[in-house]
């Protein structure tokens, strides 16, 4: 009995703090999402309005008038999805490259890991001012030197810009995880591959890739969890623009609270963000579990 | 017991390290009264941020000044006021906020503070010297809720040198059609010359300001007298098309990233022909490091269907957070008096005779200062200010007041959405029809949500 | 086949091999440097004057002027100090809460045998929760309790969000320890606290340190909560960096110097965690 008490003494503080700071506020958010509550209108009563806040975003009255929410949802999924795809494909190729015995390969690996630890607001402003700027950035200067007219990428291809930056930041992590997987492949398997005369391409896709598929999935899942909540990078590069072309769900929530002051609608949007995250993670998680089951 | 003590020691030592790292930041209970204020990121406010450190002396008071991007500042202060926070003791706001906030009880009534002033101090401050239109825009039923730090209207600035090179002349009271034709003639991308620059970055206080005055000039309005949204009208369409036409055919390349800071930089570099913006923008163009110093012409804000009152009226002003402690409020009021005083204006002129850090359009006496009255933009600024009437913004009657905004709390969001659709439309992401329809829906929704529509 | 030709063939093979290796090396380094370039360029631009920094250039006469200017700005110190506070206290408290919790989850016998797994899963799901989901209530509480003006409010939020990460990472390191040690220690009369502090923590030292370092990096870089739950006196470095967003093409040198200061500590700390990162972050789902 006494030892059990100690265990709870170890466990409870963490649970209490985490619950107070995360679960409890989330429950409140769910409650807020059923209220009509605009901070800038204290003269209007704060009333319960059921699912009205959700319907405001979700209700499709006619096919010509599809609410903004769906495009924001699509943009969120698009940005996250393409980033993860790029990270896995290019990350895999780069991991294969870095899996070679080259003098000082660790230096190259370390350099490539760097962007993963850069705070997103800093990488956002740095890329925006020193690279993407049409007059003062490398992109502008190089484009002009090649005789092309640089376009304002941040305004004309906001989603592309965000995907490039997300990928730049997250690919290092993919490389790291995939490289760990590649290096975990037993050397005698690689040797026997060579003796059996398996071509390089076959070796990569038929043997190496399946062996590190689990690493890939875990990296994708983690990337998903972190990318879907990213906010700072969008704020400093495109600020959701032009228009709402690069809004993602977290950014839309932010705008609902701090620009529209509409607590009710913002909460509804936040709840839907959580639901989306859970759905996507669940899908991925299941595919991992299923695969593990098949292999063991 | 021993274990608990061990854990306790660990926690305490961690907190101690952290608190040492933070030492000096949070001590408020005793010692000097600290008042916090955040200013907008524009030249005249930044000048104040610098002057406070060296010039403002008050016994036992520390003023913490910070400068935020304008959009951040607005959003921050609105949530602060509405949730009753006390991060800032002085709200740095404009007439848009002052009107609705005073009604909501989010601003301290300043009359009791004025009543308590000693007669010397009152004479020194000379309240009647504040420009009436500016003071009125911050008052509710004749009682002041804010003090104007500096004010502005809007006008056209143009580069006389570029105009002379092309043999063009700028009419004293141009129409938007004329401005567009002139801008196109000046525009010369191969030489890096931009015909006209205007704010393009979305935000109701950013591109929204010039754009809404453009809508007013074209005879458009946002609501009829029954609060039906009237965005989908030929007048409004005319303004939308003109804004896009000018910027796409004769404007800066990075249209949507241009706030007034970029516009000023471009204009001051001598590479832009025409610039429509606030009257308070002029001083940096006449500053020593400007390439067009002395070569700038100033004329009235463009008109179109509506012939006069097509400029905007704004001021940056200070109000007191009613949730702050009494000591802080008193200190805040004293600080506000200093910042909006004649002495402050004189000080800035003494330090910088070009007037680029002098707060304009807050006090009549500013225009009597010999150095300042000589400034090329001074007379035009006064002339624009005289014609302003923010209760009659449009050709047809409207149920709202405000020139470059609609004085309802929801406009900050609706106006920002509108400028976002405008941005979308300008860079061809959506059609005019779609932009207009979406904006119409937004404004219609506001009328319903806000219980305006009966 | 004569002796000579065999040697020749071997030499050609070796030569081809060498060439391949040289090409490969050049390729790998080229990619790595290109990838790192934005950071490198930022680092270099900090040594330029504003006039030099306007147009892109890699070769220039370096000066310390800009760094001196940035470091003599008192507001920079305020952000730096706030960030340090959050990192030190936030990481410290997260570890203090998370390490014993993961110990209890791995080796403890809770009331129901399946509780261990359930609590662990609960911590994991918390990581999935995006901060937007808690922002609104936290913001309104903090405004009312005036926590916006103190660093403790943000710190508590950081602890709430990073304790699960500690649990997550440390859990996988503790799971590697053989359970028999603790059974033996139990028999010798070692209390649970002693088992934790004398056996588990020293054995899983490297793992715990890298968990701490990684959490430190996360907190150092965290923007969303830092931006929305602080006032000016308590804002952190990422918030400071975000304020440069309105200054297109201006003050590039100053921006570069400030971001170097903001970014370098995280990169260095991050590099130190490199080895444990894979294992810790993938929940041991893959072998590192």
Q: What is the pLDDT of residues B119-134, one digit of tens each?
A: 999 999 999 999 887 8
CA distances, B50 to each of B54, B65, B67 (Å): 7, 9, 10
Last residue of a domain, one of B324, B339, B373: B373
The answer to whether A277 faces chain B, any CB pair under 8 Å, is no
Are A234 and A147 in contact, with CB atoms under 8 Å apart?
Answer: no
Asked if C81 is an interface residue toward chain B (Cβ–Cβ < 8 A), one would say yes
Q: Can you say how many angstroms the Cα of residue A112 is from the centroid of all Cα atoms in its chain?
A: 19
**Domain shared by B59 and B112, yes or no:** yes
Q: Do A103 and C25 touch (CB under 8 A)?
A: yes
Tell me if residue A175 falls in helix, strand or coil.
Answer: helix
Q: Indicate whether B177 belongs to any domain.
A: yes
Question: B374: closest CA among B274, B244, B283, B257?
Answer: B283
Residues B318 and B308 in one domain: no
Q: d(Cα A141, Cα C252) in Å, to the nearest integer?
A: 15
Q: Does C60 touch chain A (CB under 8 A)?
A: no
First-last CA distance in chain A: 37
Same domain, B167 and B236: yes
Contacts of B100 in chain A (CB under 8 A): 40
Strand pairing of B272-278 and B154-159? antiparallel
Fold of the A68-121+150-295 domain: MetI-like fold (1.10.3720)
Which chains neighbour C (Cβ–Cβ under 8 Å, 3 or more pairs)? A, B
Give per-residue pLDDT as tens, C138-159: 988 887 777 877 889 999 999 9
Find chain A residues with C-beta within 8 A of C135's C-beta. Answer: 253-254, 257, 270
Chain A residue numbers touching B8 (CB-CB < 8 A): none
Domains held by chain B: number:
2
CB B273 within 8 A of CB B252: no
| B379 in a structural domain | no
Residue C146: DSSP 8-state: T
Q: Does one domain contain both B406 and B260?
A: yes
Measured in angstroms, the CA of C116 and the nearest CA of chain B are apart by 23
Backbone angles phi, psi at A180, to 5 degrees: -60, -40
- Give pLDDT, residue B367: 85
More confident residue, C53 or A76: A76
Question: Same structural domain for residues B304 and B318?
Answer: no
Q: To the nearest whole angstrom, how far is the Cα of B454 from the nearest Cα of chain C?
A: 31
pLDDT at B113: 95
Q: Give the list of residues 6+ apart from residue C270 with CB closer than 8 angstroms, or none.
A: A113, A114, A116, A117, C213, C214, C217, C277
Pairing of strands B272-278, B194-197: parallel
Does residue B193 share a domain with residue B69? no
**Could you tell me the pTM of the whole model?**
0.84
Are residues B261 and B404 both part of a single domain?
A: yes
The Cα B46–Cα C247 span in angstroms is 14
Per-residue pLDDT of B55-69, as tens digits, reads 898 888 999 888 888
Angle between helix C132-145 and helix A24-32 axes, rounded to 10 deg: 100
Is the pLDDT assigned to residue B320 strictly greater than 60?
yes
What pLDDT is recorded for position B22? 47
Per-residue model confidence (pLDDT) at position B450: 87
pLDDT the model gives residue C156: 92
In a domain, B27, yes or no: no
Instruction: Work out the percent of chain B whose per-residue pLDDT is above 90.
Output: 48
pLDDT at B12: 54
Query: Which range among A9-23, A53-67, B265-279, C273-287 shows the weakest confidence by mean pLDDT?
Result: C273-287
**How does residue B93 score in pLDDT terms, banded at 50, 70 and 90?**
very high
Decide: C100 and B29 in contact? Cβ < 8 Å.
Answer: no
Cα radius of gyration rounded to whole Å, chain C: 25
Of how many residues is chain B composed? 454
Which of A2-6, B29-33, B319-323 has the largest mean confidence?
B319-323
Chain C residue with minimal CA distance to A279?
C128
**Residue B172: domain span:** 154-312+395-449
Would you state the pLDDT for residue C2? 58
Is pLDDT of C13 > 70? yes
Q: Taking the domains of chain A in order of start, what are their residue ranges?
A: 68-121+150-295
Give the C window 163-182 contacts with A, CB below 8 Å.
163-164, 167
Are B44 and B146 contained in the same domain?
Answer: yes
pLDDT tens per residue, range A161-207: 999 999 999 999 999 889 888 888 888 887 787 778 778 788 888 88
**Beta-bridge partner residues of B300:** B155
Domain boundary assignment for chain C: 3-65, 73-281
Task: Closest CB to C93: pick one of B14, B19, B261.
Answer: B14
Q: Is residue B17 part of a domain?
A: no
Whole-number pLDDT of residue C287: 44
| pLDDT at residue number B13 | 53
Contact C231 B265 (CB under 8 A): no
Q: Name the residue among B409, B424, B438 with its Cβ closest to that of A242.
A: B424
C220 interfacial to chain A (CB closer than 8 Å): yes
Asked if B97 and B115 touch (Cβ cutoff 8 Å), the reply is no
Judged by phi (left if over 0) then psi (alpha if -120 to 50, else beta), residue B202 lies in beta
Domain match, B93 and B217 both: no
Mean pLDDT score across all residues of chain B:
87
Mean pLDDT confidence for C37-55: 85
Q: What is the pLDDT, as a whole number, of residue C250? A: 63
| CATH number, residue B247 | 3.40.190.10
Q: Does residue B390 fall inside a structural domain?
A: no
Mean pLDDT of C54-58: 76
* pLDDT attached to residue A292: 65
Q: Each residue of A108-137: pLDDT tens digit?
A: 888 888 999 999 999 999 998 888 887 778
State the architecture of C73-281 in CATH terms.
Answer: Orthogonal Bundle (1.10)
Beta carbons within 10 angstroms of residue A250's beta carbon: 25
Query: What average pLDDT does range A218-238 have in this prediction?
Result: 89
Q: How confident is the model at residue A295 (pLDDT cuts 50, 70, 90)?
A: low
pLDDT at B265: 86
Q: Which residue has the higher pLDDT, C138 or A292?
A: C138
Instruction: Indicate the angle between helix axes C74-85 and B2-22, nearest 10 degrees.
Output: 160
Q: How far apart (Å, rounded) are the C-alpha atoms in residues B293 and C3?
A: 86
Q: Are residues B165 and B209 in the same domain?
A: yes
Q: How confident is the model at residue B16 (pLDDT cuts 50, 70, 90)?
A: low
Q: Would the CB atoms of C155 and B18 count as touching at under 8 Å? A: yes
Q: Which of C130, C227, C244 sits opposite A125 (nearest CB)?
A: C244
CB–CB of A121 and C223 under 8 A?
yes
Q: In terms of DSSP bridges, do strands B314-320 and B90-93 run parallel, antiparallel, or are they unpaired? A: antiparallel
In tens, the pLDDT along A39-77 reads: 888 888 888 888 888 988 888 877 777 888 999 999 999
One domain for residues B134 and B39: yes
List the single residue in C with minimal CA-CA distance to A265: C136
Least reliable range by pLDDT among A86-100, C103-117, C221-235: C103-117
**Residues B356, B359, B363, B365: what is their CA dihedral angle, to the nearest 10 degrees?**
-30
Output the pLDDT for position A152: 81
Rounded to the nearest integer, the mean pLDDT of chain C is: 84
pLDDT of B418 reads 94
The answer to whether C274 contacts chain B (CB < 8 Å) is no
- Give residue A1's pLDDT band: very low, low, confident or very high (50, 70, 90): very low
Q: Give C178→chain B minimum CA distance, Å.
A: 25
pLDDT on residue C127: 86
Candidates A109, A130, A180; nearest CB to C41: A130
User: Does pLDDT of B14 surpass 60?
Assistant: no
Kindly report, residue by residue over B218-268, the tens digit of the pLDDT. 999 999 999 999 999 999 999 999 999 999 999 998 888 888 888 998 999
Compute CA distances A93 → A162, A182, A204, C253, whole Å: 22, 11, 10, 35
Mean per-residue pLDDT for A18-45? Answer: 88
What pLDDT does residue B11 have?
Answer: 52
Of C96, C233, C234, the CB nearest to B11: C96
Residues B60, B160 share a domain: no
């Amino acid at each position: 009995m006494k030892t059990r008490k100690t265990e709870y003494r170890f466990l409870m503080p963490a649970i209490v703090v985490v619950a107070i700071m995360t679960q409890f506020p989330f429950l409140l958010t769910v409650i807020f999402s059923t209220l009509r509550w605009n901070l800038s209108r204290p003269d209007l009563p704060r009333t319960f309005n059921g699912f009205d806040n959700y319907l405001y975003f979700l209700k499709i009255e006619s096919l010509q008038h599809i609410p903004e929410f769906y495009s924001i949802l699509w943009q969120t999924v698009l940005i996250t999805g393409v980033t993860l795809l790029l990270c896995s494909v290019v990350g895999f190729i780069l991991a294969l490259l870095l899996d070679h015995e080259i003098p000082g390969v660790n230096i190259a690996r370390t350099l490539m890991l760097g962007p993963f630890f850069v705070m997103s607001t800093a990488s956002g402003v740095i890329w925006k001012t020193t690279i993407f700027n049409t007059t003062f950035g490398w992109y502008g200067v190089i484009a002009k030197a090649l005789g092309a007219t640089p376009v304002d990428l941040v305004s004309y291809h906001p989603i592309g810009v965000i995907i490039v930056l997300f990928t730049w930041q997250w690919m290092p992590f993919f490389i790291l995880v995939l490289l760990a997987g590649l290096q975990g492949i037993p050397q005698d398997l690689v040797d026997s591959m060579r003796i059996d005369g398996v071509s390089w391409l076959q070796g990569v896709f038929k043997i190496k890739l399946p062996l590190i598929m689990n690493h890939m999935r875990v990296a994708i899942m983690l990337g998903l969890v972190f990318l879907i909540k990213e906010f700072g990078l969008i704020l400093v590069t495109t600020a959701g623009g032009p228009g709402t072309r690069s809004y993602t769900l977290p950014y839309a929530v932010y705008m609902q609270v701090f620009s529209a002051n509409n607590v009710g609608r913002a909460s509804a949007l936040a709840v839907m963000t959580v639901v989306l995250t859970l759905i996507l993670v669940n899908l991925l998680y299941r595919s991992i579990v299923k695969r593990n089951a098949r292999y063991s | 017991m021993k274990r608990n003590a061990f854990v306790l020691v660990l926690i305490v030592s961690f907190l101690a390290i952290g608190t040492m790292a933070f030492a000096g930041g949070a001590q408020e209970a005793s010692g000097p009264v600290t008042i916090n204020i955040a200013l907008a990121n524009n030249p005249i406010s930044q000048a104040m941020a610098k002057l406070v450190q060296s010039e403002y002396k008050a016994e036992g008071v520390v003023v913490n000044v910070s400068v935020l991007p304008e959009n951040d500042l607005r959003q921050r202060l609105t949530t602060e006021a509405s949730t009753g926070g006390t991060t800032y003791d002085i709200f740095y706001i404009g007439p848009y906020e002052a009107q609705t906030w005073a009604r909501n009880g989010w601003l301290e009534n300043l009359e009791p503070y004025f009543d308590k002033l000693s007669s010397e101090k009152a004479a020194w401050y000379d309240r009647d010297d504040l420009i009436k239109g500016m003071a009125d825009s911050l008052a509710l039923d004749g009682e002041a809720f804010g003090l104007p730090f500096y004010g502005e209207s809007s006008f056209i600035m143009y580069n006389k040198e570029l105009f002379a090179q092309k043999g063009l002349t700028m009419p004293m009271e141009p129409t938007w059609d004329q401005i567009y034709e002139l801008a196109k003639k000046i525009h010369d991308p191969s030489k890096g010359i931009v015909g006209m620059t205007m704010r393009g970055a979305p935000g109701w206080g950013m591109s929204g300001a010039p754009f809404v005055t453009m809508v007013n000039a074209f005879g458009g309005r946002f609501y009829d007298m029954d609060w039906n949204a009237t965005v989908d009208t030929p007048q409004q369409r005319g303004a939308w098309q003109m804004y896009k036409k000018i910027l796409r055919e004769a404007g800066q390349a990075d249209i949507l990233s241009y706030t007034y800071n970029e516009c000023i930089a471009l204009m001051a570099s001598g590479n832009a022909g025409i610039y429509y913006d606030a009257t308070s923008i002029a001083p940096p163009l006449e500053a020593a490091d400007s390439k067009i110093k002395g070569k700038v012409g100033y004329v009235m804000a463009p008109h179109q269907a509506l012939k006069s009152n097509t400029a905007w009226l704004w001021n940056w002003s200070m109000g007191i957070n009613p949730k702050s402690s009494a000591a802080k409020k008193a200190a805040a009021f004293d600080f506000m008096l200093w910042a909006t005083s004649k002495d402050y204006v004189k000080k800035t002129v003494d330090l910088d005779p070009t007037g680029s850090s002098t707060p304009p359009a807050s006090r009549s006496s500013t225009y009597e200062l010999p150095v300042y009255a000589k400034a090329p933009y001074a007379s035009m600024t006064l002339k624009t200010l005289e014609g302003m009437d923010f209760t009659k913004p449009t050709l047809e009657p409207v149920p709202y007041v405000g020139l470059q905004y609609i004085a309802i709390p929801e406009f900050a969001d609706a106006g920002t959405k509108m400028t976002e659709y405008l941005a979308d439309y300008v860079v061809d992401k959506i059609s005019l029809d779609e932009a207009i329809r979406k904006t119409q829906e937004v404004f219609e929704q506001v009328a319903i949500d806000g219980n305006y529509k009966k | 086949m004569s002796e000579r030709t065999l040697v020749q063939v071997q030499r050609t093979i070796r030569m081809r091999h060498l060439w391949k290796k040289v090409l490969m090396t050049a390729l790998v380094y080229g990619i790595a440097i290109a990838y790192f370039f934005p950071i490198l360029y930022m680092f270099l631009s900090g040594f330029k004057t504003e006039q030099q920094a306007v147009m892109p250039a890699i070769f220039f006469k370096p000066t310390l002027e800009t760094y001196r200017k940035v470091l003599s700005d008192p507001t920079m110190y305020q952000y730096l100090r706030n960030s340090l506070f959050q990192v030190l206290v936030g990481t410290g408290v997260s570890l203090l809460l998370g390490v014993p919790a993961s110990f209890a989850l791995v080796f403890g016998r809770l009331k129901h045998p399946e509780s261990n797994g359930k609590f662990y899963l609960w911590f994991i799901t918390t990581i999935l929760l995006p901060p937007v989901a808690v922002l609104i209530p936290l913001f309104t509480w903090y405004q009312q309790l005036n926590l916006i003006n103190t660093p403790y409010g943000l710190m508590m939020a950081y602890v709430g969000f990073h304790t699960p990460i500690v649990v997550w990472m440390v859990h996988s390191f503790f799971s590697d320890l053989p359970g028999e040690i603790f059974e033996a220690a139990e028999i010798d009369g070692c209390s649970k606290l002693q088992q934790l502090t004398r056996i588990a923590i020293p054995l899983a030292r490297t793992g715990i340190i890298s968990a701490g370092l990684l959490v430190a990096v996360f907190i150092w870089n965290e923007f969303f909560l830092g931006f929305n739950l602080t006032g000016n006196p308590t804002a952190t470095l990422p918030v400071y960096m975000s304020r440069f967003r309105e200054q297109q093409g201006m003050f590039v040198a100053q921006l570069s110097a400030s971001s170097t200061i903001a970014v370098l500590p995280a990169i260095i700390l991050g590099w130190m965690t490199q080895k444990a990162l894979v294992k810790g972050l993938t929940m041991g789902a893959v072998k590192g």
